[in-house]
Structure 1
Amino acid sequence: MKLAVDAMGGDFAPQSVVEGVERARNDDNTIQFTLYGDEKRIREFLNDDTNIAIVHTDEEIDGNDEPVKAIRSKKNASMVLAAQSVKDGENDAIFSCGNTGALLAAGLFVIGRIKGISRPGLMATLPVMSNDGTVNLLDAGANAESKPEHLHQYAVLGNYYAKNVRHIEKPKIGLLNNGSEPHKGNKVTQEAYQLLLNDPEINFVGNIESNDLLSGKADIIVSDGFTGNAVLKSVEGTALGMFSLLKNAIMSGGLRAKIGALLLKPSLKQLKNKMDSPKYGGAVLLGVKAPVVKAHGSSKAESIYYTIKQTNDMVNANMVPNIVDYFEKETDKTQN
């Protein structure tokens, strides 16, 4: 794999990015990296440039930039140059910890949509509480509004990802809704339910309520981007809030509480790691002509390392070419 890396994106860039890249390179010397950003700042943290090239630029996109405007006006920004290299075939995929909206815009307007895909979706990975597994949520925020056919396409995209990257033979696909019964939801979810139910290529398990999101009932859960993003942030916020409440209870609970916390420390650490594991990788924009992967802005080297592994798995599985072939065939059927 040849990976284009926006080295200047994220709260701890370029240090965390360089450290994560070097760890991934040391683990797999078949990966070729091109880092886009301020060369002097990058080299401050680079110990060994084997398999690592640097394309220097002083321009970057920050979190306050308006996404589409930034992509169109900052032609020499590290993120834009990285995306352009993927479009030109110089690299196979792009990775960034930077401005999420800008990266989505780069995926759409620079790399481009796959023919037949109406709206690419952003896929996030969450833990399953009952075991060591994960669940993918799609769309997690790329599109505020969706039509039933968009939700069906998300299911197809998620199905390909689960089969090719997660190696699940028959992925369980669920539809995020406000009730488990088939008639629940609004017009969009009701029509999407029927589309998913009638698709023989999809193992549709029905509606999934938000309180079952992390239960393991589905491997892929599809949603419109507004709802998906709200649910994703609710889960993250609840987890952070619970740990904060627990910490406050321990600190204000006297000696007995502190002794109990000390005894439970390994279990509490295991729980925290499950809710916030860097091994889950990044969010993936599915439906564009190459893998576009976004890690959290606060990602440290370990999270970046696992996100690169996730991207490498996508490239090695030829997932995007498989999706291109599928939707080209479906488009030809419709036109004929």
Structure 2
Amino acid sequence: MERYYIEVPESALDSMMYDLWDHNYVNAKLKTATNKLSVKLALRGNQLREHKKKSYHIIFDKPFLFQGQHEIHLNAEYNDPSIIRNKLSFDFFKSIGVLAPASKHVLLYINGIFEGIYLILESFDQYYLQNHSLPKGTIYYATNNDANFSLYTPEKELKSSLEDGYTKKVDFQKDDSLKKLLIAINTFPQEKFRVEINTILDVQKYLKWLTGVVCVQNFDGFIHNYALYQNSDTGLFEITPWDYDGSWGRDLHGRYLEYDYIPIEGYNSLTARLLDCSYFKNLYGSILDEILQKQFTQQYLEPIIEEILQSIRPFIHKDPYLKHKEINLNEEKDFILRYIHERNNYLRNSLSSFMQ
């Protein structure tokens, strides 16, 4: 497994750990087997900052790009007993035709001290588009739960702005396309919505994304853990997942989540409007049925799970933050496979009544 070595002044590191909610970046060096780079380093996440094992955000300074990326995320995966749920989720999304960040596990050292196994997540930005030969486009991050495609917050309060919950990551077209999408969702009558939404959103790709979230059961994924990308060639919005450690039968705290916790329809205003149209409902049903038969099965996913686990098995008990926890990767693999079986059966049974 690749090793990443970060060198940062002890005073700067102490300051980061003392004030967990300081969003300032410090100067640091990053060494790999073949490179030495100047970077900016900061803690990342919300509740992640309070874990013993921290997660980090790295911005490359000199050189400006490293392996085609300007920034990466180093996730501790501290609450996931398998440390693979994020990666497994993104690999699964890619297999069903949804844009998703690349990810890989590395061994992280800070000032010579082994910090354990980390997951590197590719940032979803203009460099992601370049690396994956995608057209340029505007990118929005869903930065909090107000990104629910509604005029109202999840607490049923009227939003102060249509774009509450979103942060523009890449400003390419400089127009009001996001507002246009949100207005269509929240104000158009059904027939007008059915026609016009096809001129704003890549509906088929959205329904594939919806299928992915429903299968892996990431509760926050419907109103938070995603980004919107407006493809400049088509003019249509596409959607990509983000932060999926709470999935595959566990919540974001690592606790057991019943296989039938999330219904087949998922949650958010855009999904509700789409599934209220018989054409889109039937399209979703056919997409979900195909994926339940092909990719979301034990047969398809078990070798993928085993390949990821094989890469981390030799190091799991060397991780200083995990070695005192009860971690049995074989048991966790069985847990995930059992979840896939139970969730698949639940969705198959739900699908027959859903399509009536």
Q: TM-score normalised by the shorter chain: which range applies?
A: under 0.3
Q: As a proportion of its length, which structure holds more helix? A: 1
Structure scoring higher RCO (CA < 8 A, sep ≥ 6) equals: 1
Name the structure with the higher strand share. 2
